[in-house]
Amino acid sequence: MQTSKYNIVSKVKDSEQWFVVNSLSGQADILDRATYLQLQKGDESNPELVENGYLVDPVQEKKLFHEKYLRFLDDREKDEIQIFLVTNYSCNFDCSYCYQAGYEQLPFTLSKELIDSFFEYIGNEFTGRRKYITLFGGEPFLNALRHKENIGYIIQKAAEYNLEIAAVTNGYYLDEYIELLKGGKIREIQVTLDGTAGMHNKRRYLKGGDPTFDRIVHGVDLLLGNRIPVNLRMVVDKQNIGNLPDLAQFAIDKGWTASSLFKTQLGRNYELHECQANHSKLYSRLELYQDLYDLLKKFPHISQFHKPAFSVSKFLFEQGELPAPLFDACTGTKTEWAFDFTGNIYACTATVGKKGESLGTFYPEVTKNIPAVEEWQDRDILSIPKCQTCSVSLICGGGCASMAKNYNGTMNSPDCRPVTELLELGIASYFNE
Ligand code: SF4
Ligand code: SF4
């Protein structure tokens, strides 16, 4: 017997206790000092350490790893596919941090022919798979007549194909789009607010600088009033994190958080393709969660608005068990694809529209770059040397392929997540009693 390769052991933040999380055995425990020392020594006299898979026979552990890997691949074949459709890269906003600001204007527009080809392609390619479409931009809900007609056509065709539609929008023209949305099968609309009025308007303004907060708030009210689910996203960095308690209170006072149709996400503002104007504002993943941990302690009402994941801590707290081992965190070309109005196909939203990243075309003709698709599909923690010996691999899953390529020049390389540190914070935050 020896200690499992997949034990993640550390001290709970601000506590005299330790924790062990083992994603392969599916077990997690809070440990007192004596048990922690037993585990460190590999002391088999404590039967629970063996029963919970923290002390293992390495041959058996390898076998279990392979069994669970095959199950992961099988399950993923049955997972739903999220198909992004970028209807345009243009936008009516000029957000202070937009990573798409560097995209060139293209001599293409959305057309009915292209939309027909898109539905034909996804019908053939993903036949028999559960799937839904997410409209994405730029800003997909622009208020130009032809564009609106085309969006209406997509919503109508999706309903004919019995596919749900989601959208990622800045929320400015929701009033103009509500009738179209009422006619579709809408899964959710993601709208971004970066804080209460003053802070939001400082970051997310129209081209020309006019404020946008009031119209977006009205749009969220309209969606919820029409029973359309809202996913409210706050893009956070060091400039606006201090406004989170106020935005949480605002959403509570509006009655949004009491609705079962309302959920939230915090999107970390990070450098993706274009240089951010001011890097010092940006958070690393860990810094963000450290500040969230402190904010939640000081302003507990934030948790009515948003409960941070802290890696798998929230899942463990809410579900009472760990998620299945994650052999691959990157969904690109597996359960996610992105299509754009130029007729190109990409792996995901991180690469969509990026030069050299197209994996094929669906319009005007169907073409596929099979070696490039295979490179994406072959990437997981078994193909990345550093991940093969990493104790947090089954929670990290190797991170994001696109970020890995940005950092290391090749996709088959790690994009490390601070799993242990996030668990230290998250276990303290969720299991403090
Ligand atoms: S490349 Fe990154 S953003 Fe794209 S699907 Fe993979 S993990 Fe997600
Ligand atoms: S990407 Fe880094 S942290 Fe994640 S599994 Fe690989 S080596 Fe571990």
Portion of the chain with pLDDT greater than 70, in percent: 96
**pLDDT tens digits, one per residue of 186-244:** 999 999 999 999 999 999 999 999 999 999 999 999 999 999 999 999 999 999 999 99
Per-residue tokens: 199? 């802070």
Domain match, 135 and 37 both: no
- Domain end: 37, 58, 74, which one? 74
Residue 393, domain member (yes or no): no
In whole angstroms, give the CA distance from residue 349 to residue 144.
24
Q: Number of folded domains in the chain? A: 2
Per-residue tokens: 86? 């970028």
| Residues in CB range of 405: below 8 A, 6 or more apart | 411, 413
Domain match, 40 and 94 both: no
**CATH code of residue 91:** 3.20.20.70
Domain match, 146 and 27 both: no
**Of 15, 4, 109, 106, the residue nearest 60 (C-alpha):** 4
The number of residues in the chain equals 433
Domain match, 163 and 245 both: yes
Residue nearest atom 2 in ligand 2 by C-alpha distance: 416
Residue 409, domain member (yes or no): no
In whole angstroms, give the CA distance from residue 313 to residue 317.
6
Domain match, 66 and 86 both: no
DSSP state of 93: B
Domain match, 65 and 97 both: no
> By the 8 A CB rule, do 322 and 333 touch?
no
- pLDDT, mean of residues 182-187: 96
- Domain end: 74, 102, 121, which one? 74
Domain match, 41 and 106 both: no
> By the 8 A CB rule, do 391 and 5 touch?
yes
- DSSP secondary structure of 288-345: HHHHHHHHHHH-TTHHHH----TTTHHHHHHHSSPPPP-S----BTTTEEEEETTSEE
Residue nearest atom 6 in ligand 2 by C-alpha distance: 387
Domain match, 138 and 24 both: no
Residue 16, domain member (yes or no): yes
Residue 392, domain member (yes or no): no
Residue 325 Cβ < 6 Å to ligand 2: no
Domain match, 138 and 40 both: no
Domain match, 176 and 283 both: yes
Give the pLDDT band of residue 270 (cuts 50, 70, 90): confident
Residue 239, domain member (yes or no): yes
Domain match, 70 and 94 both: no
**pLDDT tens digits, one per residue of 367-425:** 999 999 999 999 999 999 999 999 999 999 999 999 999 999 999 999 999 999 999 99
Residue 416, domain member (yes or no): no
Residue 386 Cβ < 6 Å to ligand 2: yes
Predicted pLDDT at 312: 98
In whole angstroms, give the CA distance from residue 36 to residue 42.
10
How many angstroms does the Cα of residue 386 sit away from the middle of ligand 2?
7
> By the 8 A CB rule, do 113 and 180 touch?
no
For ligand 1, mutation pick of 76, 348, 376, 378 (most atoms within 8 Å of CB)? 348
pTM (2 d.p.): 0.95
Residue 221, domain member (yes or no): yes
Residue nearest atom 3 in ligand 1 by C-alpha distance: 350
> By the 8 A CB rule, do 359 and 369 touch?
yes
Residue 430, domain member (yes or no): no
Residue 248 Cβ < 6 Å to ligand 2: no
Give the pLDDT band of residue 273 (cuts 50, 70, 90): very low
Predicted pLDDT at 271: 60
In whole angstroms, give the CA distance from residue 49 to residue 176.
60
Predicted pLDDT at 432: 78
Name the residue range of residue 11's domain.
2-74
Portion of the chain with pLDDT greater than 90, in percent: 92
- Domain end: 74, 102, 124, which one? 74
Angle (nearest 5°) at CA 134 between 219 and 88: 80
Q: Where does residue 270 rank: exposed (0-12), middle (13-18), buried (19+ CB within 10 A)?
A: middle
Domain match, 64 and 88 both: no
For ligand 2, mutation pick of 284, 416, 423 (most atoms within 8 Å of CB)? 416
